[in-house]
Amino acid sequence: MIDILKISNNQQTIVKPLSISGIGLHTGIDVSMKLFPAESDYGIKFIRKDLNDNNVIEAIWSNVTSTKLSTTISNKNGASVSTIEHLMSALSGLHIDNIKIEINGPEVPIMDGSSIKFVNLIDSTSIKKLDKKRKILKVKKNIKVEKDNSSVELKPNNQFSINFEIDFPSKLVSQQSCQLQLVNGNYKTDIASARTFGFEKDVDLLRSNGLALGGSLENAVVVGETKILNSDGLRFEDEFVRHKILDSIGDLYLAGSPIQGFFLGNKSGHHLNNLLLRSLFSDKNNYDYI
């Protein structure tokens, strides 16, 4: 089992291959994935096994090609994989730096709508420390991106902390805020099991546009007009904002290394998260590696 209370200064990978399968949230396609150990400085790469050539896609901010209701990365030849944010979030939360991910379809399986299935899968094996030090990306300047009434921001800080606020026109969601520091393994207890959510009134429109084809009460919290439709209710009183934090952790791990900084999200999502990384990396004076 992984002791996530102890954060290694060295890069890490898994010790043995792991397998998992499930349905894609938006495509509705059954997908299988295999996770393999990787050497130092390999990073995180997806390999589309259903494609013959040019099928390697590096999980990095500059490869993000769509942020419509999920995060999609593509290589220069057009091979892509979507809805990567929950798996990326789990890898960040468990401090996995290097891993090869083989997948036989276009979308990472949604599992139960959170990252806990990925966390438990990786937690079922051991972590291998590698021979090179982890590179930590230190934020040196305030970086802020705004659009309409939404914003994201990174500020210098001595560790990775998050403050997130949401506001939805639903009395069941409404305004929620959550601030936490990712220390002492609290990703697994406080964030990993928070599920993605949607509104019952939007389901038909989404499906008519080819989205949420694999969505169900098994893999999302569905918010009705007067009640939560899931029979088991919510896992946290503020599960909605916690899931937004889960997504942001995954999106920010596309920086290519852990971030030392304070992230503030306000009614934001995948699009602004990627714009924030693009803004961060647009000027080398904005950051340093330690």
Which residues are CB-neighbours of 181 under 8 A, at least 6 positions away?
159, 160, 161, 162
Note if 243 is an active site residue. no
Question: Which is more confident, 144 or 3?
Answer: 144
| 39-86 confidence digits (pLDDT tens) | 999 999 999 999 988 999 999 999 999 999 999 999 999 999 999 999
**Selected catalytic residue, list 26, 95, 243, 270:** 270
pLDDT at 6: 45
Domain 137-289 sits in CATH 1.10.3720.10: no
Residue 179 and residue 165: Cα distance in Å, rounded?
9
Domain assignments of the chain as residue spans, ordered by start: 10-133, 137-289
Question: What CATH homologous superfamily does 10-133 map to?
Answer: lpxc deacetylase, domain 1 (3.30.230.20)
